[in-house]
Amino acid sequence: MQQLMVTSDTTTLSYWLNWRVLLCAIWVFTPMVVAFFLIRKYECLGSCKGKTQQEVAHSLCSNQPWRSCLNQIHPIWLLAYRLLSFSLLLPILIAKVSRNGFVMFYYYTQWTFTSVTIYFGFGSLLSIYGCYLYHKTGFYEPHVGRDTEQGYYMPLPHGDRANELEKRKSSEPPEEIHSSQAASICCYLFQVIFQMTAGAVMLTDSIYWIIIFPFLTMRDYSLDFLTVNMHTLNAVLLLGDTALNCLPFPWFRVSYFILWTGFFVIFQWIVHACVSIWWPYPFLDLSSSYAPLWYLLVAMMHIPSYGLFMLFIKIKHNLLTKWFPQSYSC
């Protein structure tokens, strides 16, 4: 486990009541406030009440977590990939906990790695459910488009199709309606985990390989097999899943990524205000005169980290649309 020396007593008032902490607090809380505003403004769950079209869209988008991006690829292949990824990540996580104990969750890296493991475990369950539905119905649900500003959308059905949907909706028993609503909520949570984790993985691995590895490994940090795996395997497996899946990636959900990091920093501040203990990352130490600069730099890195993943999805969309125009359905 990587442990640094305690630089100063973090439990004293003088440590917290100064201009450095004030600036760092601004860099942390301002993005979090903006993130809450974006979620409130753009998130569909809070704005689709009483709107039939968006309710239908939300129900129909419940197939996205288990549907592959190409119609020819059976959902079972995505299930197999997620099960394989989960079986690779979980033993590493267990080994890390067994060796270092739960103190490992003192690090942002472990938070992110755990979220990736949860993503593949949760995704495996949804894929199993999706394969069951696919086997039961034998076809995909209608395609749901995505508007990056409004979340999800689907053209309103017309004519016979509208009547058919209305009849199916009215004939569904209450148990199936509640089950469908629960499935939609699970799918929504799964998408949020995906979008939040994607940015966090890019940020974690970038900081490790660009800052920690070249400048801090020899002096303060140990490099071993588990550490390297935690900063490479998670990104590789997540990118592979992204290449196969059909999950949306709206820009405003960078908000969850920002909140994820913000809560980690707040957690660190609370711990250090109560106990004088070493910082997991040197650039979090508020006693340094460069602390505001470090906090601002890390805050700004959230944009390219999330944007890098959006770029990967954009490239995937352009290539698959060109190569498989009839099969690509994201």
The model's pLDDT over 262-278, given as tens digits with 9 standing for 90+, comes to: 999 999 999 999 998 88
Ranges of the chain whose pLDDT falls below 70 = 1-7, 44-62, 138-183, 215-224
- Residue 236 CB-density burial (10 A; 0-12 exposed, 13-18 middle, 19+ buried): middle
Phi and psi at 153, nearest 5°, equal -150, 160
* CB count in 10 Å sphere of residue 321: 12
pLDDT at residue 302, rounded to an integer = 95
pLDDT at residue 184, rounded to an integer = 76
How far is the first Cα of the chain from the last one, in angstroms, to the nearest whole number? Answer: 42
pLDDT at residue 152, rounded to an integer = 44
286, 76 contact by CB (below 8 A): no
Alpha-carbon gap, residue 301 to 310, rounded angstroms: 14
Residues in the chain: 330
* Half-sphere exposure of residue 305: CA atoms within 13 angstroms, side-chain side: 27
| Residue 68 three-state SS | strand
* CB count in 10 Å sphere of residue 270: 10
For residues 176-186, b (16+ Cβ closer than 10 Å) or e, as one string? eeeeeeebbeb
* Helices 19-42 + 254-274 axis angle, to 10: 150
Sign of CA dihedral 300, 306, 308, 314: negative
Alpha-carbon gap, residue 24 to 282, rounded angstroms: 14
pTM above 0.85? no
pLDDT at residue 149, rounded to an integer = 40
